[in-house]
A = this chain, B = another copy of it.
Amino acid sequence: MNWSLAARAAKMSPSVIREILKVTEQPGIISFAGGLPSPKTFPVAAFSEACARVLRDDGHAALQYAASEGYGPLREMVAAGLPWSVDPAQVLITTGSQQGLDLLAKVLIDKASPMLVETPTYLGALQAFTPMEPDILSVASDEEGVDIADLASKASGARFFYVLPNFQNPTGRTMTEARRAALSLRAAELGLPIVEDNPYGDLWFDAPPPPPLTARNPDGCLYLGSFSKVLAPGLRLGFLVAPKALYPKLLQAKQAADLHTPGFNQRMVAEVMKDGFLERHVPTIRALYKSQCDAMLAALQRDMPEDVSWNHPGGGMFLWVRLPEGMNANDLLPKAVERHVAFVPGVAFYADKADPRSLRLSFVTPSVEQIAVGVAALAAAIRESRSACAFSAI
């Protein structure tokens, strides 16, 4: 049978992270590899009550086909919860924020269109953009955010700049206020649209991050948000906020993609969110993740060789480690797994020019005790690998 694949299919590839997760699901492995929120934070009892109420009071509507835009009351809650003036008519409910990436890729990217991403960037975004075959350009980035001069030098003809300003996946870093102001100004001058992805912004430890880029220039930005990190990822609920000129095409793409996001799930979440639930619930997630991040930072400080470096995230789920010169995170991984600890090598997160010394650690899934054991094992694997490197250099 002549199943001919589309050219774009050759560019799709299995997620490196998925492959690593298969290994790390072996019993006994302490995994810093996954990006899974801690299940302790899932409000199971609140969902259980919400399900029962939705099916009792509104079951037929919740189980019927529904509008592609999303459930009205949920769109209103989303609009009201954002720190700039948003008309609920600009809110599109998506099947996870991953779907928002798929929809905007279809609507904005032609084959060989240039588009810009941070260095490194979210792997899932690269996977969503790649089937539309853009020319993805990496913009240099540092601890304060994207390098504005490098951005400007690459912006000509770019369809958009994709950026995760808050507690970024994979690095955990947050763009400073000064850098946001400069980026917003320069993008407006350049006429460069911004796609701002913000799944982690609510998960700050001591202080909220600076205001979103979209709040500074709503017509120049497309904003993506998610309920996965503040409620639960298994419901697959996210949203996008689009300039009104762009909304109809995104809606048409949404309709063709899956008609609409499950109305039952949208009502469940709207029901749970009534009466300010998130204002009580999200602080408990912040406190848990801060304690786990602190435990990881303390363990790194205690156990790591002097020439290993890492950052100090102000929130989110990840931190970013750099191995000593000459080491390679891909080579380290099997040695770490032998010692029952796993991570994701940083190379997965680069559109090009990957830093082979970088790696991502998640601090949210394992317990504080597991973090201590896992970091000690990782440090031992690094020492072992380094002596092997030194040996091979002789």
Contacts and interface: CB of A to CB of B under 8 A. Distances in A.
Interface of A: 1-9, 12-15, 18, 34-37, 39, 42, 44, 47-48, 51-52, 55-56, 59-66, 68, 94-96, 98-99, 102, 106-111, 113, 124, 127-128, 130-132, 159, 188, 191-193, 217, 219-220, 228, 232-236, 243, 245-246, 248-249, 251-253, 255-265
B64 A47 contact: no
Nearest to A22: B67
A156 to B, nearest CB: 11
B55 A44 contact: yes
What is the count of identical protomers in the complex?
Answer: 2
A190 to B, nearest CB: 9
Contacts of A124: 256, 259
Nearest to A220: B1
7 contacts: A1-B217, A3-B243, A14-B251, A35-B65, A39-B60, A42-B64, A64-B232
A322 B42 CA distance: 54
A34 B191 CA distance: 42
A257 B191 contact: no
Contacts of A68: 18
Contacts of A192: 2
Contacts of A110: 6-8
Contact of A12 (B63, B243, B256): B256
